[in-house]
Amino acid sequence: MNGPHGAAFSGRLGWGERPVVLVVDLVRAYTEPDGPFALPDPPVTATQTLVEAARATGVPVLWTVVRYAADLADAGLFVRKVPALAAFAEGASGDWGALSLAPAPGETVVVKQYASAFAGTSLAATLTALGADSVLVAGVSTSGCVRATATDCLQHGLRALVVRQACADRDPALHERNLTDLDAKYADVVDLDDVLTHLG
């Protein structure tokens, strides 16, 4: 890393021996053109490629979705900051919280209310039960739930590998800035082709 900090950042976590794939919030709200969080280039195809490669090699695949009670009582202050989250309330019109890719039978779907997939969920216990030591993170958005989840992976003693092409954000520049910062401090940002080679 260039600059006054030199080699202070951007060490490598590397691959563990028991990876899992975690697809964060890849739901219709982000992937449909008229969705409340519609992205200019949702990473559906790249994520599908990643998921299919994981399944073919026996790597577990987990998913997250955001869901709130109908009265948003469990949304806390988050929904005040981001009012469009009301689209994920039970009974809300549009079915925006539906996954854009279908989990296979037996794949875990973690329901969450906040940015990190670890916050108030069973994810940490599920990863422990799987014996996971590294998490390939895909999904949306790079600056929000992907970043929060990858950061919490590190704080739970797990190697986070954020798959560049399988993530996206509302602004490509925001996506790239967050990938750069994640790679410097909390995760390894990896290219999909390299992941496919490793899994293969």
Examine residue 143 and say whether the peptide bond preceding it is cis (omega within 30 degrees of 0): no
- Name the β-bridge partners of 190: 163
Instruction: Write out the E strands in 1-92.
Output: 19-24, 61-66
DSSP letter for 103, please.
P
Active-site residue, selected from the candidate residues 20, 145, 146, 162: 145
Active site residue 145: yes
Cα distance between residue 146 and residue 35, in whole Å:
19
Continuous segment of H or E residues that includes residue 28: helix 28-31
Q: In terms of Cα–Cα distance, which of 181, 160, 80 is closest to 116?
A: 160
Residues labelled as active-site residues: 145
